[in-house]
Structures are given as C-alpha cells and as structure tokens.
Amino acid sequence: MKKVSSHLNDDGLFSLWSNNPPDIYFVDLLKNVFEMARAEKVIFYNPILEEDCTQTIYIAKK
C-alpha cells in the first residue's frame, strides 16, 4: 500500500471496487498507510441470481 500511496498527490484518493463484502482487515491495512480509510457497502438486486448482492468500495485518502 505504501507504493500505491507514493503515486498519489497530497490529498489524493485511492479507491477499489471489490466483489466481496467489506473486509475489516483490509481497511486496517489501508489505515496504516493513509490518513483516512473506509469501506462502503454497495447492495443491489442481481436479476441473474434473483437475490440481493453485497459488494464493497474501499476509499482511502492520502
């Protein structure tokens, strides 16, 4: 993550879309490198599976 952070401008944002529910361990990893980090759930109805699905967007600020 430090290498990713080094490519960002001051106050730059890192974001990542994940096909999985939030992972608190990944958020903790981000918090060790970035000033702020959080996970936002994205819940949507998947018509193929005919059920709600949860994915995640991770956002971190340098």
11-57 tens-digit pLDDT: 999 999 999 999 999 999 999 999 999 999 999 999 999 999 999 99
Handedness of CA 32, 34, 35, 39 (dihedral sign): negative
Which structural domain, as residue segments, surrounds residue 34? 2-61
- Under DSSP, the state recorded for 21 is -
Total number of domains in the chain: 1
Q: State the Cα angle at 21 between 61 and 52, rounded to 5°.
A: 125
5, 22 in Cβ contact below 8 A? no
Please report the pLDDT score of residue 1 as a whole number. Answer: 82
Confidence of residue 2 (pLDDT cuts 50, 70, 90): confident
Q: How far apart are CA 31 and CA 43, in angstroms?
A: 24
pTM, two decimals, is: 0.86
Contact 30, 58 (CB under 8 A): yes
